[in-house]
Amino acid sequence: MTHIVRKNVKGDLIEAGVWRGGASMLMKAVLDAYGDTKRHVVLADSFRGVPKPKQPRGDHGDELHRISGYLGVPREKVQEHFSRYGLLDDRIEFVEGLFEKTMPQLAGRRWSLIRLDGDLYESLMPPLEHLYDGLSRGGFVIIDDYNTFPQAEQAIADFREQRRVTAPLRRIDEHAAFWCKS
């Protein structure tokens, strides 16, 4: 975030997979703290949890859907969280629905940060496919669960191969990884 603001990497920020909104709130709080009054933060989510896998797969997708009561946080609740910390204004955009449906509408926009936290292969691919062309050089892709779910690692490997992305993938911690678009 600080790199984006200091180096003036062009574009808005998006989190695809918001849950209670904590990571998106941090994005907005950093923008506010640095006096960045232009960028928008886009919160994309079903706000109903992880979609039901088309068929039981015996992997974490079944379990994540089963706990949708926990992972599905209504948009109003997330708005309330932003409000509580004075972060809700017209630069916070809510994009509600499954990524397969909503991501095509966001193609063509300019991004400085794409944060992926949808957990499943099919929840990581649509944001990458529809948003990556709009990511500025010097902007970032963060994959929250790269080291947690093998599916997340697979989606990233497939996308990077398809698009011939050679920028180094860097580990953040035991879960997350990122790369900077070169």
Query: Please, are residues 69 and 12 in contact by the beta-carbon 8 Å criterion?
Result: no
* 178 is a site residue for ligand SAM (CB under 6 A): no
DSSP string, 68-99: HHHH---HHHHHHHHHHTT--STTEEEEES-H
Question: Which of residues 7, 8, 22, 56 is near ligand SAM by CB under 6 A?
Answer: 22
Q: Is 103 in the site for ligand SAM (CB under 6 A)?
A: no
Kindly indicate which of the ranges 20-28, 74-82, 146-154, 159-167 contains the residues binding ligand SAM, using the contact rule CB under 6 A: 20-28
Residue 27 binds ligand SAM (CB under 6 A)? no
Contact 43, 79 (CB under 8 A): no
The interface mask with ligand SAM, positions 104-123, x = CB under 6 A, is: -------------xxxx--x
Nearer to ligand SAM, 10 or 65 (CB): 65
Beta-ladder partners of 42: 14, 93
Strands lying side by side in the sheet with 135-143: 92-96, 41-45, 12-16, 111-116, 135-143, 177-180, 170-171
Per-residue binder mask for ligand SAM (CB under 6 A), 130-159, x = binder:
--------------x---------------
User: Which tokens hold the place of 177?
Assistant: 């990884």
Q: Look at residue 12 and give its three-state secondary structure.
A: strand
Q: Does 18 contact ligand SAM by CB under 6 A?
A: yes
Q: Rule CB under 6 A: which residues touch ligand SAM?
A: 15, 17-20, 22-23, 45-46, 49-51, 71-72, 98-99, 117-120, 123, 144
